[in-house]
Structure 1
Amino acid sequence: MSSSAQDCTQSTQSTLQESWQDIDLASAQDYTPEDAPVSEPLTGKEKAGVKLTWGIISILIGFLVVILSIFMWGEYQFFTAMRDTQQLMLTNKLTSSDFLDQLTQQRNDFRAFWFDTLQLILLNVLFPTLTALLGYVFGTSRNGSSN
């Protein structure tokens, strides 16, 4: 550290010590913060809305896990078929590349079908339902006079 940086640090420390000495602590008072407001327990409808929302979220997660496992199964089947095809081509039992093209086309069709199904169910069913439920749960407000 250079001498100018040390001088600056020392002068800053002395300024802080002087500013603390100027504070009048004799007139200081103890302060106790107020308790945080605690909301009332949920009503029956609100509890049902929260439970229904968690149910939709669990269905959504379950559906995504199922679709992901289907995608992984499809990829496993494709790579197994590619390995078998490669072995057949090495032993000269299969010489046509049409089989590889057909295999690749089947893989693309499989992926497109399941991706479209995923998109259809998620975007048209689960997300709108989840949005409506979350809007209900967070949008409900209780008046003090209605209790």
Structure 2
Amino acid sequence: MDTTPEAVPSRLDVEGRVATPAAIPGATYADMTGLQRSGLKLASWVLGMIGLLAAALLVLIAISEYVVHPPEVAATLALIDSAAQHYADTGEPETLKQVNDLMLRLAEAHRAMREFWTGYSQFLLMNLLLPVLTSILGYVFGTARGGGSP
């Protein structure tokens, strides 16, 4: 089916009657009132803030997850390397248990950091900005269909 603008009909013939689509009042930007236009601009700003914040949080999480290690993690990794080397030299099971405990603590600290950023991101995006965006859009489109009065 050809969907070029010339091939798309603007009128529809149904059982011998010609039907043309009726214009919805307030459906275009030019038909909106000043308050509705302001609401739509505000909604676009809030949507932009959501996008920027989501991108910034993803970059921050990716950097903290894969690139930068806090000094405590670097010190722990150095300690683990030396303990593993000591175990390889001596073969004592107590040293292996200490290395295992350090690895478990390091994994727990990493998991706690990841949970913090996940919870923080969810709070900002889902509990703060998304309800603001939906209420603004509900107002804009509700007044556009309702004749311009809230």
Residues 57-97 of structure 1: CA deviation (Å, up to 9, x unaligned)? 1111111111111221222146x96xx56982696057522
Matched residues in 2 for 1:87 and 1:102: separation? 11
User: Do the aligned partners of 2:39 and 2:140 also contact (CA within 8 Å) in 1?
Assistant: yes
Residues 23-72 of structure 1: CA deviation (Å, up to 9, x unaligned)? xxxxxxxx987576375622211111111001111111111111111221
Structure 1 pair 34–93 and aligned structure 2 pair: CA distance change class (3 A): same
What corresponds to 2:142 in structure 1? 139
The 5 A counterparts of 1:18-33 are none
Matched residues in 2 for 1:142 and 1:108: separation? 49
TM (normalized to structure 2)?
A: 0.59
User: Do the aligned partners of 1:67 and 1:118 also contact (CA within 8 Å) in 2?
Assistant: yes
User: Do the aligned partners of 2:47 and 2:133 also contact (CA within 8 Å) in 1?
Assistant: yes
Gaps of 5+ in 2: 1-16, 88-94
The 5 A counterparts of 1:57-96 are 57-76=47-66, 77=68, 88=81, 92=85, 95=95, 96=99
User: Do the aligned partners of 1:56 and 1:130 also contact (CA within 8 Å) in 2?
Assistant: yes
Shift >6 Å, 4+ stretches: none
What corresponds to 1:54 in structure 2? 44
How far off is 1:124 after superposition? Answer: 2.1
Match of 2:114 among 103, 111, 114: 111
Larger Rg: 1
Amino acid at match of 1:92: Q
Matched residues in 2 for 1:35 and 1:116: separation? 47
User: Do the aligned partners of 1:46 and 1:137 also contact (CA within 8 Å) in 2?
Assistant: yes
1:37 and 2:23 aligned: yes
Q: Percent identity?
A: 29
TM (normalized to structure 1)?
A: 0.60
Gaps of 5+ in 1: 1-30
How far off is 1:105 after superposition? Answer: 0.8
What corresponds to 1:21 in structure 2? none
How far off is 1:131 after superposition? Answer: 1.1
